[in-house]
Structures are given as structure tokens and as C-alpha cells.
Amino acid sequence: MTPKTLFEKVWEKHVIDTSLDLPLLFIDLHLIHDVTSPQAFNLLKEQGRTVRRPDLTFASADHNVPTTDRNLEFKDLLAKKQVDALIKNCKEFGVTVYDLDHPDNGIVHIIGPELGLTTPGKTIVCGDSHTSTHGAFGAFAFGIGSSEITHVLATQTLPQAKPKTMNIQIDGEMPDGVSSKDIILRIIGEIGTHGGVGHVVEFTGSTVKNMSMDERMTICNMVLEAGARSGMIAPDETTFAYLKNRKFVPKGEKWNEAVAEWSELYSDPGAVYDKTVTINIDNLAPQATWGTNPGQVTSIDKTIPSPKSFTGSNERTAAESALDYMDLNPATNMNEIEIDRIFIGSCTNARIEDLRLAAQVAYGHKVHNNVTALVVPGSYHIKRRAEQEGLDKVFIDAGFEWREPGCSMCPGMNPDIANPGDRVASTSNRNFEGRQGKGVRTHLVSPAMAAAAAITGHLTDIRKWNYKGGLRKNEAFS
């Protein structure tokens, strides 16, 4: 028998027709939200069609929801229209929707795993590019467009070209102050924003094996920024422990049967990938972006590179343009860049472990006078858990704003945007021009780095931080 990769095993189980121009995949889970679904439902209505499997479609209002107070009126009328349309369409077509006040509401890529909708071996789609997050569980998960959303709603299938495979092997022990966010930023910086185009990336290696599920979700979430179709990690005991007893996972003997099936989802010895990249993180430093894409990144203890240091003319031009937009000069020390706003949140870094790391940094300190700092939990489940642990009090006492769940400043599709010219240290996944508001300059960092910048007023090397509670990574917060 020919050895197969994890991706190939999942792909082959879901191809239901190869006679078409593109293979037809059965879709196990369809997630929808307020921004990309209204157009899809409108097209469905125009065609006079129904939702084929409403039991396999789940919706959450996340991109446009207000995070200051759920009882306040929407300031953005288009945002309100999109949220209202999501709720109306889901009720009309019998789709489960977690609306603004639902206890299971949150960012769609966060509630899928925490509710147990996301499980190993599934095909998962959503009208959002960061659907790859769910690949941390051994699922083939990818973003789709509005017309494709309509196709899945109507048929529960999707024509899809088979991607190539890439193995990114990560080895080494995670240094103090370094997180999975730093690792994926380093990877994007190394292979470039087009390094994964046309590929499904499987993350392997000792570092990945030792990661928590929250950490694995972060690297799968951001592999899209390297151009990959999706990211995947083989499920293991860490995966099963995370999923056990969650709302939608099998129970009792069916759980044992599911685990036995999921345990077969790994790349066979001798399986061949189309491309392999190896990364060692033993000496990795915390990372921060200096430009206008996630690949324009460097270590916090280094200086901004000169455009002349890039070999390709396109890279040089991109670096010049990025520095002009960011209003930065080459050779500037990264840890001297002053910050106006801090955003801790998004489907990349708004999970409970992210908030714990940020709270450890913030404990006993105060937000800088010139900084506005937001902490936005990824879901109501995370918000409640954080409040049970007293994390909200740590943030509030330090001068951070403690918000309701939502995408918030990440997509800039709601009132949570910065002012023109503001410089933001953000735990989100994209630092494109205007992403967090017109003329806003974004630096992508880890939750710990963002919290430190909020307090010092500038990008800061977290390895030198004064933890007033004496806390470090992996220690319990108290």
C-alpha cells in the first residue's frame, strides 16, 4: 500500500465524484458569519433552492458585532444590516445561529473547536480565509467565496482542485518569551507570503507535538498568510483531551469509536510531500512585523532592514512602499517603535491561553498614558472562563478595556478601529494598509508582546519583562 499523507487520507474519504472538471468533495461542516453570508443566501433565494443539510451548517455573528455593550445601537448601519440578515436568513432556512446574546456566540473559528463542531478528519469550509484554524484538529479546512457558500448551502458539496502538500517540520524547545505566534511569523518571514501557494501545509516535529491546542490553532490560523490553502496537524492525545465532553462530540462508546478512527489520521512513514521545510526554534526571539504584510517581520532585538538588503527588485520596492506607509526608517531599533493602541483579540489570539499570557504581563502594571488598550475575548465561553479566573480584573486594574466577544479591530468592519496615523500593536493576523482603519499602521505581535507594549508605550522585548507576580509561561496564574 502506498504511504499517504494526513491530507491525502482526509481528501480521499471525501471525494464523491471524479467525473467532473474538478473533484467534488462532500463537506462535513459549513460555518457562516455575518459578512459573507447575505450575498450567498440572496443567490440561494434567487435560484429557488433550500439548504440541503441545515444540520451541518452553523452560524455566528462575529465580524460586525459591537464589543463595548451588546445593548447599544449599532453605529454602523451596514454592520447592523448584515447581522440582521444573518439572523433572519438562518431562521428562514432552519440553520442554527449563535446571535449577539447567545451564550455560545463568538468568533466563528473559535466557537467551532470549543463546541466540538470541529473534529479530526472533517472537511470544513467557511466564507473566511482563516478557516484553516480548524486544521489544527486534523481537519481539511479552508475559506471559500460567496458563490461557493451558496453551492455548499444548496448541495453540501464543493468542486475543488486537489492542492499539493507541504511539510513544515518545526523542532526545538520554545524559548522563554516565545509563543506559537512568534513561530508562525518567523515561518512566514522565511518562506514568504507566497511560499505556500497551492499547498496544504502539514505541521510536524517535536515543537508541534508539545504544543497545546490553542497554540496549534494559532499556527494553522496564520499559515494562510504564507499563501497556503490550509494547514493541518495530525490529531493526538492532546487533541482528544481538548475535545472530550464538548457539546457536539460523540459521547460514551461512540466517543471511543471516534477516537479509534481519529487515531488513524496521520501521515504514514514514507509518505511523500511535494515540498518540505524545516525550522529550528531553539534560538528564536519574539517577533514583530515592521511592514505591511506578515512576511515583513523580524526579531524584536533587531533593527528594521534596509530595502537595499533585499535581493529581488519586487521585494525592494515592496519594502520601500511599506516603510513609507508605516512612517519608519531603516536601522531603527524595533524595540524603540512607539505605539498608540493595543489590540489583544481575533481568531488568531483571543483564546484563554492567550489572555492568560497577556494578564501575566499586565499584572501589577499600568497602561501607558499615551496608549489605548483593548482586550476582546474570542467567545462568551472564553470571556466567562477569564472572568472566573480573575483575568478581567487584572486587565481592568492595569487600565485595559475589557470588551464583549467579537472580531473587533482585526477586520476593521465595526466601530473598533484606530484613528488615521495611529500605530497599533495587534495580536491579529494581517497588517495590510488600512486593515485596522484608514492610515492605521499595524505591527503584528504575540499577546505577551502586545501587553508589554501597552504598558511601556513602545514595542518591547518580553524576555526582559518584569513579571511582578513572578510568573512565566506555563505557570498557573493566581
- Domain assignments of the chain as residue spans, ordered by start: 6-159, 164-280, 289-464
> Measured between alpha carbons, how far is 89 from 37 in angstroms, rounded to an integer?
9
Across the chain, which distance is largest between two alpha carbons, in Å?
Answer: 64
CATH topology of domain 164-280: Aconitase; Domain 2 (3.40.1060)
CATH topology of domain 6-159: Aconitase; domain 3 (3.30.499)
Between the alpha carbon of residue 85 and those of residues 34, 89, 97, 297, 441, the distances in Å are 8, 6, 12, 39, 32
- The C-alpha atoms of residue 276 and residue 359 are separated, in whole angstroms, by 37
The grid coordinates of residue 284 equal 528564536
Q: Is the pLDDT of residue 475 over 70?
A: no
Residue 472 in this model has a pLDDT that exceeds 70: no
Say how far apart CA 166 and CA 132 lie, in whole Å.
14
User: Is the pLDDT confidence value at 478 over 60?
Assistant: no
* Pair 344, 451: CB distance under 8 Å: yes
> What pLDDT, on the 0 to 100 scale, is given for residue 471?
57
The whole-number pLDDT of residue 300 equals 98
Amino acid, single-letter form, for residue 283: N
pTM higher than 0.85: yes
d(CA 350, CA 287): 18
Question: Does the pLDDT at position 44 exceed 60?
Answer: yes
Residue 358 has pLDDT above 70, yes or no: yes
Residue 407 labelled as part of a binding site: yes
Between 43-57, 216-230, 409-423, the lowest mean confidence (pLDDT) is in 409-423
Handedness of CA 392, 393, 398, 402 (dihedral sign): positive
Compute the mean pLDDT over every residue in the chain, rounded to the nearest whole number: 95
96-98/24-26 β-pairing: unpaired
Same-fold call for 6-159 versus 164-280: no
CA distances (Å), origin 359, targets 316, 344, 364: 39, 11, 10
Position 333 pLDDT exceeds 50: yes
**Structural domain 289-464, CATH architecture:** 2-Layer Sandwich (3.30)
